[in-house]
Chains A and B, each alone.
Chain A
Amino acid sequence: MSILEVRDLTVTFPGGIEAVRGVSYDVDRGEVLGIVGESGSGKSVTSLAVMGLLPPGAVVSGSAKLHGRELLGMDEDEQIKVRGKSISMIFQDPLSAFTPVYSIGDQIAEAVRVHQKMGKDKAAKRAVELLDLVGIPNPDLRAKSFPHEFSGGMRQRAMIAMAIANDPDLLICDEPTTALDVTIQAQVLEVLMTAQRETGAGIVMITHDLGVIAGMADRVLVMYAGRPVEQGPVDDIYYRPRMPYTMGLLASIPRVDGEEGPLVPIEGSPPSPAALPPGCPFAPRCPMKVDMCDDEEPPLTAFGAGRHVACIRSHEIEHKGLTGADVFPVPVIPPSDVVRVPRAERATVLELDDMIRHYPLMKGAVFKRRVGTVFAVDGISFDIAEGETLALVGESGCGKTTTLQQIMQLQPPQGGRVVVLGKDSAKLDKSERKGLRGDLQIVFQDPMAALDPRMPVGDIIAEPLRAHGRKDASARVAELLELVGLAPEHAERYPNQFSGGQRQRIGIARALALEPKLLVLDEPVSALDVSIQAGVINLLEELKNRLGLSYLFVAHDLAVVRHLADRVAVMYLGRIAEIGTVENVYDHPAHPYTQALLSAIPLPDPERERTRKRILLEGDLPSPADPPSGCRFRTRCPKFAVLSEAERRRCVDEEPSVARLANVVDHGAACHYAEEVEVITASDNQEEE
Chain B
Amino acid sequence: MRSKVVLRRLFRNKQARYGISALVLLILLAYVGPFIGPYDWTDKDFLAFMSAPGSDHWWGTGAIGQDMYAVTLRGMQKSIVIGLLVALIATGLAAIVGSFAGYFGGWVDKVLMWGVDLLLVLPSFLIIAIISPRLKGGSWLWFVVLLAAFSWMITSRVVRSMTLSLREREYVLAAAYMGIPRWKIIFRHIVPNLSSLLIIDATLNVSLAIIGEAALSFFGFGVQPPDVSLGTLIAEGSRNATGYPWLFVFPAGLLVLLVLSINLIGDGLRDALDPGSNS
Question: Which residues from chain A sit less than 8 Å from chain B, CB to CB?
Answer: 408, 433-434, 437-438, 440-442, 444-446, 449-456, 458-459, 462-464, 467-468, 474, 491-492, 494-497, 510
Contact = CB atoms under 8 A, between A and B. Distances in A.
B208 to A, nearest CB: 27
Contacts of B189: 452, 455
A444 B168 CA distance: 13
Nearest to B193: A454
- The 10 A-B pairs of least Cβ separation, nearest first, read A494-B275, A437-B179, A450-B170, A434-B179, A464-B178, A454-B192, A452-B171, A449-B170, A444-B170, A458-B1
A433 B179 contact: yes
A449 B275 contact: no
Given A408-B177, A456-B2, 11 more contacts: A434-B179, A441-B177, A442-B177, A444-B173, A451-B171, A453-B275, A454-B192, A454-B193, A459-B1, A463-B175, A468-B178
Contacts of A456: 1-2, 5
Nearest to B175: A463
Most A CB atoms within 10 A — which of B180, B195, B273? Answer: B180
Contacts of A437: 177-179
Contacts of B175: 463
Given A433-B179, A437-B179, A510 B1 contact: no
Contact of A492 (B1, B173, B193, B195): B1
A455 B2 contact: yes
Interface string B57-98: 000000000000000000000000000000000000000000
B239 interface: no
Contacts of B193: 452-454
Contacts, number: 71
B12 interface: no
A575 B177 CA distance: 25
A463 B180 contact: yes
Contacts of A445: 170
Interface residues of B, number: 22
Interface of B: 1-2, 5, 169-171, 173-175, 177-180, 188-189, 192-193, 195, 273-276
A495 B275 contact: yes
B275 A496 contact: yes
Contacts of A434: 179
Contacts of A497: 275
Contacts of A441: 177-178
Most A CB atoms within 10 A — which of B169, B170, B193, B276? Answer: B170
14 contacts: A408-B177, A440-B177, A442-B174, A442-B177, A449-B170, A450-B170, A453-B193, A453-B275, A454-B2, A454-B195, A454-B275, A455-B2, A463-B180, A491-B1
Nearest to A493: B275
A640 to B, nearest CB: 38
A449 B1 contact: no
B223 to A, nearest CB: 39
A449 B180 contact: no
Contacts of B171: 449-452
A490 to B, nearest CB: 12
A454 B179 CA distance: 20
B1 A462 contact: yes
Contacts of B180: 463, 467
Contacts of A433: 179
Given A453-B193, A495-B275, A468 B170 contact: no
Nearest to B184: A467
A454 B177 contact: no
Given A454-B195, A454-B273, A449 B169 contact: yes
Contacts of B177: 408, 437, 440-442
A308 B169 CA distance: 45
A450 B178 CA distance: 13
B179 A468 contact: yes
Contacts of A442: 174, 177
A438 B179 contact: yes
Nearest to B275: A494
A408 B174 CA distance: 10
A433 B180 CA distance: 12
B275 to A, nearest CB: 3
Contacts of A463: 175, 178, 180, 188
Most B CB atoms within 10 A — which of A454, A462, A496? Answer: A454
A445 B170 CA distance: 9
B271 to A, nearest CB: 12
A312 B171 CA distance: 45
B227 to A, nearest CB: 42
A441 B171 CA distance: 13
B256 to A, nearest CB: 32
B181 to A, nearest CB: 8
A452 B195 CA distance: 13
A402 to B, nearest CB: 14
A444 B177 CA distance: 12
B11 to A, nearest CB: 15
Given A455-B192, A459-B2, A492-B1, A450 B275 contact: no
Given A449-B169, A452-B189, A467 B276 contact: no
A112 B200 CA distance: 50
A446 B179 contact: no
A445 B173 CA distance: 12
B178 A467 contact: yes
Contacts of A449: 169-171
A192 B173 CA distance: 39
A444 B173 CA distance: 10
Nearest to B181: A467
A451 B173 CA distance: 10
A463 B171 CA distance: 11
A557 to B, nearest CB: 19
A554 to B, nearest CB: 14
Most A CB atoms within 10 A — which of B1, B169, B180, B195? Answer: B1
A468 B180 CA distance: 8
B215 to A, nearest CB: 37
Contacts of B195: 454
A467 B2 contact: no
Contacts of B174: 442, 444, 450, 510
Nearest to A510: B174
Most A CB atoms within 10 A — which of B171, B173, B175, B189? Answer: B171
Nearest to A520: B177
B170 to A, nearest CB: 4
Contacts of B275: 453-454, 494-497
